[in-house]
């Protein structure tokens, strides 16, 4: 197990050095959510403190889930996947390496945005529950992206398109722009999105307007994380042979 984890970390370091400055990652992970968030909030009377939970939630969700969908297609296209799977490393360790590298990247970007937001607003502070929720949320969203990448294609744009079709509906039902308590008939639908529970955690600690207790949000994020990671392993096990 320890050897597999060490090899998984090698995969993570490789991903961090190769993939995270690619144009699709920057466009779909940072530029698109930034413009979407700003355009939605123009001319709306919302306090700066109320903007931060939605901004951080969207930042983490988009940056993390914009990377993992493209890694396997890129590896397939560059013919490097064959070398990786022929090495003495388990498939779950390869997937874990992809997930962890995406988690690190997304967490760093979100931390930078949080620091800038805290400086501009002036009365926002981070705490350990937010850090824990961010780490669990990043793992959850990254595992979702890894599940999407199981589509057997060597074209990263195909995986990115599928990811976009899944992510955009989720952000509109996840309390990013409208708190859960104000969503009316869409409230029940929001419970199906893992992003809901991360955003609600931020609202609870930064605005004191959380809909669920912190422990409930964290538990649900953990459940989603386990489900997505296990499904990603099963899906890749069934499609890996089609990539080689």
pLDDT (tens digit per residue) in 44-58: 566 656 677 877 888
Total domains present in the chain: 1
Print the domain residue range for 91.
2-243
Question: Other CB atoms closer than 10 Å to residue 10's CB: what's the count?
Answer: 14
The model's confidence at residue 181, banded by pLDDT at 50, 70 and 90, is confident
> What is the pLDDT averaged over residues 59-69?
82
Token pair listed for 207? 């605005």
What's the gap between Cα 152 and its chain centre?
21
**pLDDT value, residue 219:** 95
Residue 3, pLDDT above cutoff 90: no
Residue 177, pLDDT above cutoff 80: no
Distance CA 20, CA 22 (A): 6
**pLDDT value, residue 149:** 86
Who wins on pLDDT, 181 or 133?
Answer: 133
**pLDDT value, residue 123:** 61
Residue 197, pLDDT above cutoff 60: yes
**pLDDT value, residue 136:** 93
> What share of the chain has pLDDT > 90, as a percent?
18
Number of helical (H) and strand (E) elements in the chain, helices listed first = 12, 0
The model's confidence at residue 1, banded by pLDDT at 50, 70 and 90, is confident
Distance CA 79, CA 224 (A): 32
Residue 6, pLDDT above cutoff 80: yes
Closest CA to 11 of 117, 121, 91: 91
**pLDDT value, residue 30:** 63
Across 20-34, 141-155, 170-184, 217-231, the highest mean pLDDT is recorded for 217-231
**pLDDT value, residue 198:** 93
Residue at token pair 């609870």 = 204
Who wins on pLDDT, 141 or 124?
Answer: 141
pTM for this model (two decimals): 0.86
**pLDDT value, residue 131:** 86
Distance CA 176, CA 238 (A): 35
**pLDDT value, residue 2:** 82
The model's confidence at residue 31, banded by pLDDT at 50, 70 and 90, is low
């Amino acid at each position: 197990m320890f050897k597999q984890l060490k090899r998984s970390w090698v995969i993570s370091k490789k991903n961090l050095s190769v993939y995270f400055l690619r144009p699709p990652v920057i466009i779909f992970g940072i530029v698109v959510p930034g413009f979407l968030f700003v355009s939605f909030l123009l001319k709306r009377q919302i306090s700066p403190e109320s903007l931060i939970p939605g901004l951080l939630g969207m930042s983490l969700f988009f940056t993390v889930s914009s990377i993992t969908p493209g890694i396997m297609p890129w590896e397939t296209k560059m013919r490097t996947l064959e070398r990786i799977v022929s090495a003495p490393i388990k498939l779950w360790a390869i997937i874990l390496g992809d997930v962890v590298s995406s988690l690190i990247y997304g967490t760093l970007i979100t931390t930078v945005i949080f620091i800038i937001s805290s400086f501009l607003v002036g009365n926002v502070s981070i705490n350990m529950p937010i850090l824990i929720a961010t780490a669990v949320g990043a793992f959850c969203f990254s595992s979702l992206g890894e599940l999407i990448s199981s589509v057997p294609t060597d074209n990263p744009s195909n995986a990115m398109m599928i990811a976009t079709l899944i992510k955009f509906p989720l952000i509109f039902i996840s309390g990013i722009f409208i708190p859960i308590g104000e969503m009316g008939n869409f409230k029940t639908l929001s419970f199906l999105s893992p992003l809901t529970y991360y955003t609600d955690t931020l609202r609870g600690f930064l605005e004191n307007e959380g809909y669920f207790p912190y422990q409930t949000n964290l538990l649900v994020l953990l459940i989603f994380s386990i489900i997505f990671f296990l499904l990603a392993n099963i899906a890749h096990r069934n499609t890996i042979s089609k990539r080689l």
